[in-house]
Amino acid sequence: MPAARFVDQLNAQIGNEFTAHHQYLSCAIHYDTLTMPQMAAFFYAQALEERDHAMMMVQYLLDTDADVVIPGVEAPTPAFDDVVAPVALALEQEKRVTEQVNALLRIAREESDFASEQFMGWFIKEQVEEVATMSDLLAVVTRARDDIEAIEEYVAREQGGPGEDPTAPRAAGS
């Protein structure tokens, strides 16, 4: 069984991941209302990815006979002033999640919880990718804020992705 301190923080992180899910849904809806289908699809996919991250954490706790406690989530920012604001918020959110994931790894190390440390390794790699993706997208959206078609073309061209990561932890319910 994982260290109690790690379990407590991982349960809190499940809430953080669901909060990110809700925030990305709000971003997707913003772009949908602006008739930006590529950006909307990108953020809907990001929302599902955050939900999957939460469910991977749930599965880990189930697999290790630890208690799963799904916390409440904060309400997302519901509206944005322009096409740049949701991406700027998403980048800040990814940086915050990176700090949270790093803290979880730190706890696992401090507690000599080697299985939990190994589990968190995938999330460390994932956060590097997430911050890089949002940083690039913010640069493009900021540059092209008045050219929605250029933003849409960039997302269509660059954000297709390679598909599922076979090294990803299994998500509960999948």
pLDDT at 130: 97
If you ran DSSP here, which 8-state letter would residue 144 be given? T
Q: What is the pLDDT of residues 78-89, one digit of tens each?
A: 999 999 999 999
Mean pLDDT of 41-54: 97
The rounded distance, in Å, linking the Cα atoms of 28 and 116 is 33
130-160 burial code (b ≥16 CB/10 A, e <16): beebbeebbebbeebeeebeebbebbeeebe
Confidence of residue 170 (pLDDT cuts 50, 70, 90): confident
If you ran DSSP here, which 8-state letter would residue 1 be given? -
The rounded distance, in Å, linking the Cα atoms of 72 and 74 is 7
Q: Is 79 left (phi over 0), alpha (psi -120 to 50) or beta?
A: beta
Q: Which residues contact 129 (CB under 8 A, 6 or more apart)?
A: none
The sign of the CA dihedral 4, 99, 22, 155 is negative
Torsion of CA 34, 36, 37, 39, to 10 degrees: -110
* Whole-structure pTM value: 0.93
> Which ranges constitute the DSSP H helices of the chain?
4-33, 37-63, 85-110, 114-143, 148-158
Q: What is the pLDDT of residues 146-160, one digit of tens each?
A: 999 999 999 999 976
pLDDT at 163: 66
Q: What is the pLDDT of residues 56-80, one digit of tens each?
A: 999 999 999 999 999 999 899 999 9
Mean pLDDT of 20-31: 98
Which CATH number does 4-158 carry?
A: 1.20.1260.10
